[in-house]
Amino acid sequence: MGLGKEVREAIAKRAAKEIKSGMIVNLGIGIPTLVANYVNDSSVMFHAENGVLGTGPSPVPGEENPNLCNAGGIPITAAKGASYFDSAMAFALIRKGLLDMTILGALEVSDEGDLANWIVPGKRVPGMGGAIELAQKAKKVITVMNHTDKYGNPKIVKACSLPLTARKCVDMIITEMAVMSITNDGLQLDEVFEPYTLEEVQEKTGAPLLIKQPPTTISEGRS
């Protein structure tokens, strides 16, 4: 089951708090595209693999520019000082390690930070996009995702069953239930979204949770 609009916005808003002044950040397809709406720092530059550095918030409905979109074909705006280039240059920026952060969707994440997000075997996809490069080369990788699949099975697991995008690349996971960090000691639970409880988060997580201190409760933006 998909997440409602307010829940998706709450996840994006929480992810935006990880972005610091001066960062170059890539936003994946889906929930990640909403993150730009919650960043009001003009020194932050958003990067798109189709050749834009300096994307802005989502355009007002009815004011979309048909010639301006992100790598997923979603309409975007351009911030003051934005630059345009070809995809080769866009990927060169990624592969050179110049991105401070990428925020991606995920199908599965392991408790060691392995990421599976580019294909479900047997399903047709248009291509793997830039996820493999982004996951390996960005200085910080955050995944925003449903905590479980449509059948209620955990998407945060001990070992991924789907083809991997990259190994040990994820630093932080944000779902509708919780915020978790991948640490050297294990999968650490940092924050819990209301109305969920710590026990519910553990029940729906397919790997043990490390709890060094009582997790913070997040209540804003939920319904």
The whole domain housing 93 covers: 5-218
Residue 49: active-site member: yes
Distance CA 9, CA 44 (A): 20
Type of residue found at 106: A
Per the domain annotation, does 163 fall within a domain?
Answer: yes
User: Is 204 within a domain?
Assistant: yes
Domain-embedded: residue 143: yes
For residue 199, being part of any structural domain is answered with yes
What pLDDT is recorded for position 223? 42
The pLDDT score that the predictor gives to residue 152 is 95
Strands 24-27 and 186-193: unpaired
**Contact 139/99 with Cβ under 8 angstroms?**
yes
Among 49, 108, 133, 176, the active-site one is 49
Kindly state whether residue 223 falls inside one of the protein's structural domains: no
So what's the pLDDT on residue 126? 63
159 in any annotated domain = yes
- How many domains does the chain divide into? 1
Angle at 38 between CA 194 and CA 133, to 5 degrees: 95
pLDDT at residue number 119: 85
Q: Which candidate, 73, 77, 57, 53, places its Cα nearest to that of 65?
A: 77
Residue 119 falls inside a structural domain = yes
Q: What is the mean pLDDT of each run of 10 residues along the chain (223 residues)?
A: 87 97 95 93 94 92 92 89 95 97 97 93 74 96 97 97 96 98 97 96 97 87 49
The domain that holds 162 is classified in CATH as 3.40.1080.10
Torsion of CA 154, 155, 160, 164, to 10 degrees: 170
Helices (H) and strands (E) in the chain, counts: 4, 13
Q: What is the pTM of this model?
A: 0.94
